[in-house]
Structure 1
Amino acid sequence: MYKYDQYDQSIVDARVEEFRDQVNRRLSGALSEDQFKPLRLMNGLYLQLHAYMLRVAVPYGTLDGRQMRMLGHIARKYDRGYGHFTTRQNIQYNWIKLEEAPDILADLASVEMHAIQTSGNCIRNISSDQYAGAASDEVTDPRPWAELLRQWSTFHPEFSYLPRKFKIAVIAAAEDRAAMRLHDIGIELVRNEAGTLGGKIFVGGGMGRTPMIAPEIKDFVPAEDLLSYLEACLRVYNRHGRRDNIYKARIKILVHEIGAEDYRRQVEEEFAHVKTLGIDPPAAELERITAFFAPPAFATGLSDELDLSDPDFRLWVQQNVAAHAQPGYAIANISLKPVGGIPGDATADQIDLMGDLAERYSFDELRVTHAQNIVLPHVRKADLYAVWQALDEAGLATPNLDLISDIIACPGLDYCSLANARSIPVAQKIAERFADLDRQRDLGELKLKISGCINACGHHHAGHIGILGVDRKGTENYQLLLGGSGAEDVSLGKITGPGFDEDGIVDAVEKVTDTYKSLRQDGERFVDTYRRVGIEPFKEAIYG
């Protein structure tokens, strides 16, 4: 994984001291809240319903055991003993005291971490495939490119005040594990017929008030032109993006209004100019970055055999363990979705344990997933049982990856000042209703996602089953959506009809799953059945 050089460290250290001075001025009254707000947001500090919330960047979801334990330390010392992993592969703390925020940033800086550009109208944390560098289906490791984009976008003088926030995802496999086409820019690294590496570029995706799937803007940009092409994409947006209306400020609105073809034309014209500026990195710099992502020192000659005589271990392996490109190794997914728990939350002790397990069993590497879980990417198959035992003892071994209880949920009205409804209790009730693992496994892959407001931080538009909390004359109301997907078969869910109260939405989800079971054909996932039969049979079951 990438390690800071002297420039990285000096930048982060300087930002800590700048923010410490800004906080002191706010506490003394020298800065008003209106003056302080843009400064704190530049450092990932939000003012929520009950306290400040700090969002810490985990670039492309990759971190090591030392960094993970620092996250546990922050949860223990500065918060209420837990952290919340997010759909942007970051972590948030919900109970931060303003006077302690600079100390948190200083602690983060000591382990090469920060909260820079986790808020504001800038390029946010670059996200990627949580299996990068381990998956057998990737054409290359996308993380060096994600790191290159991180360095390019950090404090970019032209893109620090964009019309709206901006999100980029980079993948390198046909299977999309990062919801790439629901980003402002999505990049799929591919090889052309000659074997040359490049990127397929998608621009104008996103969720929120007006969800859109990013159209393909360029089928192949050679690797040596990639940074210049992305610069051109952002320049066109920065030039024409709406700044007079926050609801129409995202790049998806620009691409939709002028059309993908005209946007493509303008990008090509801008690219012809940008390419003369020499911003693409020299080969030596890309090689320097790539060297940090060299494969670990995998042992050879390892057996792929597993002793699955323990039925609980066997169930966890079947559900939470993925194939690795290296013989004798596996990818272990750690579920942060226990029945009755808060999706994405982990206690300080659990965070410490995951860091320890990474050091001992996974070449000191972890990944945060956009589904709010954690991955140990490089585990010897011979060590899986020991890993599982440790996770099980800590309440981290729920075998529910991609099942109905593996719910993505935003913090909702329990914490967020923007929310209209609570997400957490609904997620808990649904998980409890479907607590029986045999029942979950019978339903198969079923991705359920919940947002507490139209901003869609819970990705409800991309759920096979999506739930959106809205305000109906002062009462929390929940709309049900069906048929979304954030994967390579990307689609947006459709609202079924009138909403429900908290208990009613749980009943409605159960009616939907029962209808699916009565209609499915052999091998069909929920979303496959929905696409085959349409929404009407489900509406009939729900509303009668």
Structure 2
Amino acid sequence: MPPSSAQNGRTATAAKPRRRRGEGQWALGYREPLNKNEENKKNDDGLNVRDRIINIYSKRGFDSIDPADLRGRFRWFGLYTQRAPGIDGGKTAVLEPEELDDRYFMLRVRIDGGQLSVAQLRAVAGISRDFGRDTADITDRQNVQYHWIRVEDVPEIWDRLESVGLSTTEACGDTPRVIMGCPLAGVAEDEVLDGTPEIFQIYEEHIGSPLYSNLPRKFKTSIAGCSVYCTNHEINDVAFVGVRNEAGEAGYDLFVGGGLSTNPMFALRLGAFVRPDQVSEVWAGVCAIFRDYGYRRLRTRARIKFLIKDWGAEKFRQVLEEKYLGYALPDGPAPVLDQGLRRDHVGVHRQRDGRFYVGFAPKVGRVSGTSLDRIADIAEAHGSDRIRTTADQKLVILDIEEDRVESITAALEAEDFQVRPSTFRRQTMACTGIEFCKLAIVETKGRASTLIDELEKRLPDFEEPLTINVNGCPNSCARIQVADIGLKGQLVMNDRGEQVEGYQIHLGGGMGLDAAFGKKVRGLKSTAEELPDYVERVLRRFQDQRKDGESFAAWVGRAAEDDLK
């Protein structure tokens, strides 16, 4: 017999069953907010903050801003408070948000498809100079990011952006973020199809819509027919990847649930073939599943990757087709990935129309309004009205006549925008870091720039493809887990027993045919000061030990641990 209630130390009164809270999924009836973020979103849609910024906060100043808007809804229009100067990385996880806040903002401009005209680039440049202390970063989501923005100046900034067809709407927040696209869309000789119409159809039909302005977390999209898969479909929440079916029809293969941060996952392929005219409604269906079934109880489990991991690709596709589309999608082919291709579109290459595109590399995405204006001048002087941002913090100018290629190359390189960069300049990325980011623990942009300079001096003949990604915290904005050498910022002890800035090291990550997350070797860390020595050491061992044609990641997979330290 089971023990009595008395034997268990409890009264005989029947206990009421505890009501399960689930994961906060709306579709299952869990509509009550289960954390502060969800409560704030229920109280007021983030899209409504625009009017308050224009009519109240910009007129009354920083101190008038409601905290729920300041640290929440402002993000729906691309605004985050930046980190106050002088706060070291050891305080990042200790101080309250209001103690980390500066009275200035980071502002993110969404550049869907990475597409800019000369007039748009000039507007972006002018805002940087006039309102952002000449700061500007090209992000790995193809955006431009400013710093030092005052709330008083935001309405004029919006007016300038909107006058040239740009915006900051849903550039951040629990929303559909910028839609990534191949910078060579419509001009690449070997692309499957041009995804531009689909990108802008989604933008026009769904961005800024209250239907999708309250998602469990951010929602990242890529749409591209690029033959080198430059928008990194493997790590987007939803990705449409150009393929041709058995009939030779161009369309998209559908992937869902990629993402990095502290729980990295590669997107799952649903196996469905999506025609170009279906993309917008399929995108809306995937986004709506996330809205309705996404996990809202814990922020750490609120990305769509956790939902599809639990459901699996087959169930996700079934729900999409039966409950959201009302029709079945046909099966389709998977993309054919090539090993070792660089995805950044740097260099001079022929377009399908016989003209050329010129891809070039600022250092770790760090530019300025002044330098962006100069790029606009150079493009215009060489007959181009099309500038593109890439997913690797680089830039591309399209439509250059063959007899002007050398001239534009010389003009760009005179501004230190390298068209023929070293591997280290070409394939090193860095997130914002402690200079401006409230989540960061260490400095990144300057460290990565110094690392590039040192490696170019020490290894001038190193030519193998090699990605080095530098991140200021564990959140992986700079994609550390899928880099050959991923550097995650943290505080470490130096040989004098002092706590200093440093990095945990991930080795051998990558995307494409051999997609894998980088391995962590026990105890493998480096101080910031020792980092160039470490990277030089491991790259020299790679050069000494590599087999013919062997990639760095493949070598890491077989190398002895001592050779990786």
Partner in structure 2 of residue 38 of structure 1: 72
> Do residues 525 (structure 1) and 546 (structure 2) align?
no
Partner in structure 1 of residue 415 of structure 2: 394
Partner in structure 2 of residue 311 of structure 1: none
Partner in structure 1 of residue 290 of structure 2: 237
> What does the per-residue CA deviation read over 1:214-233, in whole Å, with 9 as the maximum and x for residues that have no partner?
01013312333332322222
> Do residues 106 (structure 1) and 128 (structure 2) align?
no
User: For 1:500 and 1:256, how far apart are their aligned partners in 2?
Assistant: 34
Task: List alignment gaps of at least 5 residues for structure 2.
Answer: 1-47, 85-103, 329-344, 494-498
SS at match of 1:252: helix
> TM-score, normalised to structure 1's length?
0.82
Task: Say what the alpha-carbon RMSD is for the aligned residues.
Answer: 2.5
Deviation at 1:95, TM superposition (A): 1.1
Match of 2:374 among 331, 348, 353: 353
> TM-score, normalised to structure 2's length?
0.79
**Would the aligned equivalents of 1:22 and 1:36 in 2 still touch at CA under 8 Å?**
no
**Would the aligned equivalents of 1:178 and 1:487 in 2 still touch at CA under 8 Å?**
no
> Do residues 141 (structure 1) and 194 (structure 2) align?
yes
User: For 1:151 and 1:218, how far apart are their aligned partners in 2?
Assistant: 27
Partner in structure 2 of residue 119 of structure 1: 172
**Would the aligned equivalents of 1:485 and 1:493 in 2 still touch at CA under 8 Å?**
yes
Partner in structure 2 of residue 452 of structure 1: 472
Distance change (3 Å), C-alpha of 1:274 and 1:22 = farther
Match of 1:323 among 330, 337, 350: 350
> Do residues 501 (structure 1) and 523 (structure 2) align?
no
Whose radius of gyration is greater, 1 or 2? 2
Partner in structure 1 of residue 463 of structure 2: 443
Name the amino acid aligned to 1:420: I
**Would the aligned equivalents of 2:346 and 2:419 in 1 still touch at CA under 8 Å?**
no
Partner in structure 1 of residue 111 of structure 2: 58
SS at match of 1:481: strand
**Would the aligned equivalents of 1:410 and 1:452 in 2 still touch at CA under 8 Å?**
yes
Partner in structure 2 of residue 279 of structure 1: none
**Would the aligned equivalents of 2:193 and 2:251 in 1 still touch at CA under 8 Å?**
no
Partner in structure 2 of residue 374 of structure 1: 395
Percentage of identical aligned residues? 27
Partner in structure 2 of residue 310 of structure 1: none
SS at match of 1:442: coil
Match of 1:248 among 295, 301, 305: 301
**How many matched pairs?**
478
Partner in structure 1 of residue 336 of structure 2: none
**Would the aligned equivalents of 1:25 and 1:31 in 2 still touch at CA under 8 Å?**
no
User: For 1:25 and 1:364, how far apart are their aligned partners in 2?
Assistant: 37
**Would the aligned equivalents of 1:237 and 1:251 in 2 still touch at CA under 8 Å?**
yes
Name the amino acid aligned to 2:397: L
> Do residues 21 (structure 1) and 55 (structure 2) align?
yes
> Do residues 192 (structure 1) and 245 (structure 2) align?
yes
Partner in structure 2 of residue 540 of structure 1: 562
Q: Which moved more, 1:415-424 or 1:229-238?
A: 229-238
User: For 1:253 and 1:74, how far apart are their aligned partners in 2?
Assistant: 38
User: For 1:16 and 1:454, how far apart are their aligned partners in 2?
Assistant: 31
> What does the per-residue CA deviation read over 1:404-444, in whole Å, with 9 as the maximum and x for residues that have no partner?
6531100111110011222123202311221249x355332
Partner in structure 1 of residue 342 of structure 2: none
Deviation at 1:206, TM superposition (A): 0.7
SS at match of 1:513: helix
**Would the aligned equivalents of 1:362 and 1:377 in 2 still touch at CA under 8 Å?**
no
Deviation at 1:92, TM superposition (A): 0.8
User: For 1:70 and 1:428, how far apart are their aligned partners in 2?
Assistant: 27
User: For 1:230 and 1:218, how far apart are their aligned partners in 2?
Assistant: 15
> Do residues 161 (structure 1) and 214 (structure 2) align?
yes
Partner in structure 2 of residue 480 of structure 1: 505
Match of 1:412 among 404, 409, 433: 433
Relative to total residues, which structure has the larger helix share, 1 or 2? 1
Deviation at 1:381, TM superposition (A): 1.8
> What does the per-residue CA deviation read over 1:307-357, in whole Å, with 9 as the maximum and x for residues that have no partner?
xxxxxxxxxxx9722332232x222012102xxxxx211132221121122
